[in-house]
Chain A
Amino acid sequence: MPAEITMPQLSDTMTEGTLVKWLKKEGDRVESGDKIAEVETDKAVMEMESFESGTLAAILVPEGQKVAVGSVMAVVATGKDDPAEVKQQAAAAGPRRARSGPPATLEAASTGEIHEADYVGHVAVATGQQPAGPPLPKLPENVARGVRVRISPLARRMAAEKNIDPRTLLGSGPGGRVVVQDVLALTDTAAARSVPLPHPGSGQTQTVPVTKMRAAIGKALQSSKQRIPHFYETVEADVEELSAMRLRMNQMLEPQNIHLSLADFVVKALAMTLLAHPALNATFNGIEVTRYGDVHLGIAVAVPDGLIVPVLRNIHLMGLKEIRQRSVDLAERARAQKLRQEEMSGATFTVTNLGRYGVKEFSAIINPPEVGILAVGAAEKRPAVRNGQLVARTMMSLTLSADHRVVDGAMAAEFLRTLKQFLEEPGMMLVFA
């Protein structure tokens, strides 16, 4: 019997995806598990597998087309099916909802209407399916439910031309309708940054509209800060030795073209610390705490007009070289909006680092359902007292934000003490690794 290949639902909020590229062509033999296409959701590109073996008989959706979740994109002739016959039947039926499969979340899939989640959420929150990581608590129903984007036809067309996801737009028209000026405002935002502000003293003002992504981040963080009783603890680590060690190591690694940053050491130390303190390597759904034996670390990356948190999975198993390479790769792809869905989901803890901006110390907002976040400040020479002497040492401030519903002050303090120890005596990491 011919098997239909449908647009998978890659997250709870996903209502449609773009068929980016077919990796097989009509007539190709496919085995179960073969990658047959690349599919793009709003922020990620995924490779899609065939669940059937047979001949790819018919491709119903051209590359570049948006497809509603559950719609048939291709048909595989299996068993004794005649591929030509299957193709003919499929072509006659055209792209359509699957005969069976995921329940429709799209009211008008065939009309090409664009739908949105009314809650995009902080990037790390807006995740659904997780191939390998721990399961996250189920999203509230209103988050999962798709809501139709109200958008004028012109705005819709222009957004498509400019490759803008309409769901990221904040509608200024009646009833929140996205109109063309909203699209133009978004594309003008980048331009607005380079455009000099109104001449000082001229009394002029400049209005920059809030993008939908910005609004979603704001909403998620506001919710976190309002609902979670944050508390903060800061330690100062002496990273003089670590810095010197890093310089020596980089000299030795230069032939291999590896250049470790201080942040890589911090991430490594943090992973080790989390393994030692599973109370912080946890998520909390309001009812029960889930602690994890593996560390999937979310690393906040600034992107134009927003924030994305790619996840380094199983970071506790990685050496510094791999951490370096992986984190550079993730950050680059985050800025290019090329992350796959699973690369942005399933973190057990998050780290955010403003050291390179010279920020001494700061406190971050927790990324629910995680229970803690570490804010890393700049490593800089500060006066310190060593053996009764005032000396200049390379110091770094680390601030933990924790959810007081499940983490107490002493637990947090122990966590920070371990972290400080790993940073000040890096060799200690070898003991536990």
Chain B
Amino acid sequence: MPAIQFREALRAAMVEEMERDETVFLMGEEVAQYNGAYKVSEGMLEKFGPRRVLDTPISEAGFAGLGVGAACCGLRPIIEFMSWSFTLVCMDQIINNAANIRYMSGGQFKVPIVFRGGNGIAHQLGATHSHRMEAVYSRIPGLIVVAPSTPYEAKGLLKTSIRCDDPVIFLESEKMLGEMGEVPEEEYLLPLGKAKVEREGQDVTLLSYGRPLQRVVRPAVKALSNDYNIDVELIDLRTLRPLDVQTIVDSVRKTNRCVIVDEDWGYCGMGAGIIQKIQKPCFDDLDAPIEYVHSDEIPVPFSHPLEEAMMPSVDRIIAAVQEVCYK
């Protein structure tokens, strides 16, 4: 299997689906002539032309809503946000319109749209550009929320998302786009709403997704295994809504311990919502409270050392795992 970049995997998914389905188009800021602010859509304008790869003005509410309207009328838009932080100015279009139109119309419409872009803390972007929006959107009935952690997941999950008849919030990370990973040459799809047990283990269940999974969780799992003799079962959640509760519960029932890692704020954060979903079905199987390793509850600072310090680290994860393992 060839190793490709995360951004290439995303691009491959979009290209394949646009070749497959005429109704799929890509729209967003700098996606066409500039070849993508982060070069995800590089070459796509040339390949598909300006009808299907469209630059927009800086009007998130305008083009997000445009996408929703188009999706209601038979198209399958891929709307790229340069950053999920920018969706703070167009939430009405996503939450009120994309998520609700089907319900409010008594099922008369479906809204097959993918909103995608970089989510979370990238690098020194400051408080306004570093929002982790997963908990915001994962709360919303009517939305599907996906967060890939490798190029392989990115391609397979994005292809399914584009084919999905419901609105999908697809959370990438600017910091992951250059990461390499093996991706099969033949076509494949990955299911939505299904978590992946990435590593089987006996001692503790570790839940994560997206960038923190790659940045700190995998290194922590390696250290726990090598240096602490703790056998971690690692689950890549992949889809945050609908959450694959069954896979998580099955694992926690086996290990009797659970640690969740994300880069959200803790209070009402993504992990807090996951805890709410699993604590009851797992209650009699838990030998320790579920631990939640999250970012500090502060605005995201600009300065590099401060930004690093606020986020979950390998050390924080190891400490949390030791705590629930009573080791």
Nearest-Cβ distance from residue B249 to partner chain A, whole angstroms: 14
B264-297 vs A, CB cutoff 8 Å, 1 = contact: the mask equals 0000000000000000000111111000000000
Check: A32 CB closer than 8 A to any chain B CB: no
Write out the residue numbers on chain A whose beta carbons fall within 8 Å of the beta carbon of B284.
153-154, 156-157
Which residue on chain A has the smallest CB distance to residue B323?
Answer: A174
Write out the residue numbers on chain B whose beta carbons fall within 8 Å of the beta carbon of A181.
326
Write out the residue numbers on chain A whose beta carbons fall within 8 Å of the beta carbon of B285.
153-154, 157
Write out the residue numbers on chain B whose beta carbons fall within 8 Å of the beta carbon of A157.
284-285
Check: B256 CB closer than 8 A to any chain A CB: yes
Write out the residue numbers on chain A whose beta carbons fall within 8 Å of the beta carbon of B287.
152-155, 179-180
Whether the pair A154, B326 counts as a contact (CB closer than 8 A) is no
Write out the residue numbers on chain A whose beta carbons fall within 8 Å of the beta carbon of B283.
153
A-B contact count, CB below 8 Å?
Answer: 26
Which secondary structure dominates where chain A touches chain B?
A: helix
How far is A154 from B287 in the complex, measured between Cα atoms in Å?
5
How far is A172 from B327 in the complex, measured between Cα atoms in Å?
11
Within 137-177 of A, Cβ neighbours of B (below 8 Å) are at 152-157, 172-173
Write out the residue numbers on chain A whose beta carbons fall within 8 Å of the beta carbon of B288.
152, 173, 179
Nearest-Cβ distance from residue A102 to partner chain B, whole angstroms: 30
How far is A152 from B287 in the complex, measured between Cα atoms in Å?
5
State how many residues of chain A have any CB contact under 8 Å with chain B. 11
Which residue on chain B has the smallest CB distance to residue A173?
Answer: B326
Nearest-Cβ distance from residue A235 to partner chain B, whole angstroms: 53
Write out the residue numbers on chain A whose beta carbons fall within 8 Å of the beta carbon of B326.
172-173, 179, 181
Within 285-327 of B, Cβ neighbours of A (below 8 Å) are at 285-288, 326
State how many residues of chain B have any CB contact under 8 Å with chain A. 8
Write out the residue numbers on chain B whose beta carbons fall within 8 Å of the beta carbon of A155.
287
Write out the residue numbers on chain B whose beta carbons fall within 8 Å of the beta carbon of A153.
283-287
How far is A173 from B285 in the complex, measured between Cα atoms in Å?
16
A188-217 vs B, CB cutoff 8 Å, 1 = contact: the mask equals 000000000000000000000000000000
Nearest-Cβ distance from residue B231 to partner chain A, whole angstroms: 15
Most A CB contacts (10 A, CB to CB) among B287, B288, B326 go to B287
Write out the residue numbers on chain B whose beta carbons fall within 8 Å of the beta carbon of A179.
287-288, 326
Which residue on chain A has the smallest CB distance to residue B286?
Answer: A153
Write out the residue numbers on chain B whose beta carbons fall within 8 Å of the beta carbon of A172.
326
Nearest-Cβ distance from residue B299 to partner chain A, whole angstroms: 32
Write out the residue numbers on chain B whose beta carbons fall within 8 Å of the beta carbon of A152.
286-288
Nearest-Cβ distance from residue B256 to partner chain A, whole angstroms: 5
How far is A172 from B325 in the complex, measured between Cα atoms in Å?
12
How far is A181 from B286 in the complex, measured between Cα atoms in Å?
12
How far is A156 from B287 in the complex, measured between Cα atoms in Å?
9
Which residue on chain B has the smallest CB distance to residue A152?
Answer: B287
Which residue on chain B has the smallest CB distance to residue A151?
Answer: B287
Nearest-Cβ distance from residue B281 to partner chain A, whole angstroms: 12
B110-144 vs A, CB cutoff 8 Å, 1 = contact: the mask equals 00000000000000000000000000000000000
Which residue on chain A has the smallest CB distance to residue B285?
Answer: A154
Nearest-Cβ distance from residue A149 to partner chain B, whole angstroms: 15
How far is A229 from B326 in the complex, measured between Cα atoms in Å?
42
Nearest-Cβ distance from residue A392 to partner chain B, whole angstroms: 60
How far is A179 from B326 in the complex, measured between Cα atoms in Å?
9
A16-50 vs B, CB cutoff 8 Å, 1 = contact: the mask equals 00000000000000000000000000000000000
How far is A172 from B286 in the complex, measured between Cα atoms in Å?
16
Which residue on chain B has the smallest CB distance to residue A183?
Answer: B287
Within 169-220 of B, Cβ neighbours of A (below 8 Å) are at none
Write out the residue numbers on chain B whose beta carbons fall within 8 Å of the beta carbon of A156.
284
How far is A154 from B256 in the complex, measured between Cα atoms in Å?
7
Q: Chain A interface (Cβ within 8 Å of chain B)?
A: 152-157, 172-173, 179-181
The 5 closest A-B pairs by CB, nearest first: A154-B287, A180-B287, A152-B287, A157-B284, A153-B284
Q: A155-B287, A157-B285 are in contact. List 6 more A-B contacts (CB 8 A).
A: A152-B286, A154-B287, A157-B284, A173-B326, A179-B288, A181-B326
25 examples of A-B residue contacts, CB within 8 angstroms:
A152-B286, A152-B287, A152-B288, A153-B283, A153-B284, A153-B285, A153-B287, A154-B256, A154-B284, A154-B285, A154-B286, A154-B287, A155-B287, A156-B284, A157-B284, A157-B285, A172-B326, A173-B288, A173-B326, A179-B287, A179-B288, A179-B326, A180-B256, A180-B287, A181-B326
